[in-house]
């Protein structure tokens, strides 16, 4: 089914769509009249981006791949639930209302966000001719860089909020540790992450949040 769907989408046009999609997203966030509507659309945008990413996964979806992807989703979601409930992993924070339905105070889509970022960052470094351990280290570092930028506007977009509006160093250390462990899981089970749209999706999201940070925190 995945291959049938992929045949109907020309790669060049999909890449053009991704670029236009994120440009429209940026413009929608910075205009006051459309801001709330685009905040509402955040989980749908993540669902669409993840669907495009997984649709262009280059190898077949065998049982092993499905199990590993499901594990990353569940592990990411469970860690976030524990983090929200205890404040012992990332620090003390709570989720806002913009990420959709929740379980135990944690949006269900957060697990998908972990899968998206782990897979996409792994795909970005997949072409490097270095040992898998170093690939996982670099992909985890990319995810921390992504998180540093995202954290600056997460409150503005009502995604999550930190106690006293202070982001602890603990958050970034925990992010790196979890990103590394989930990333190395892909390597242990030999899940190939070669993907022609992963780099564009990852960088588009990064640039979106970077642009919003510049606009909301520096310009206005």
Mean pLDDT of the residues in the chain? 95
Per-residue pLDDT, 7? 55
Looking up tokens 């003390």, which residue turns up? 92
Per-residue pLDDT, 188? 96
pLDDT tens string 39-96:
999 999 999 999 999 999 999 899 999 999 999 999 999 999 999 999 999 999 999 9
What average pLDDT does range 166-185 have in this prediction? 97
Predicted confidence (pLDDT) at residue 2 exceeds the cutoff of 70: no
pLDDT tens string 94-136:
999 999 999 999 999 999 999 999 999 999 999 899 999 999 9
pTM: 0.94
Q: State the DSSP H helix or E strand holding residue 176, giving kind and residue range, or none if neither.
A: helix 169-188
DSSP secondary structure letter of residue 217: I
Question: Distance between CA 25 and CA 209 in Å, rounded?
Answer: 10
């Amino acid at each position: 089914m995945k291959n049938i769907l992929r045949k109907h989408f020309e790669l060049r046009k999909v890449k053009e769509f991704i670029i236009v999609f994120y440009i429209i997203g940026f413009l929608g966030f910075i205009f006051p009249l459309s801001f709330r509507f685009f905040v509402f659309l955040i989980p749908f945008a993540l669902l669409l981006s993840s669907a495009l990413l997984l649709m262009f996964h280059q190898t077949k979806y065998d049982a092993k791949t499905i199990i590993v992807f499901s594990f990353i989703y569940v592990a990411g979601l469970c860690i976030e639930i524990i983090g929200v409930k205890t404040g012992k992993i990332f620090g003390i924070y709570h989720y806002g209302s913009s990420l959709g339905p929740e379980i135990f105070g944690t949006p269900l889509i957060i697990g998908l966000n972990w899968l998206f970022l782990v897979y996409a960052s792994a795909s970005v470094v997949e072409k490097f001719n270095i040992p898998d351990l170093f690939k996982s280290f670099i992909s985890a570092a990319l995810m921390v860089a992504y998180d540093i930028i995202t954290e600056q506007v997460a409150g503005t977009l009502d995604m999550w909020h930190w106690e006293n509006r202070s982001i602890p160093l603990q958050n970034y250390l925990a992010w790196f540790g979890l990103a590394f462990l989930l990333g190395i899981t892909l390597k242990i089970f030999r899940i190939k992450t070669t993907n022609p749209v992963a780099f564009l999706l990852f960088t588009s999201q990064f640039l979106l949040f970077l642009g919003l940070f510049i606009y909301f925190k520096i310009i206005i």
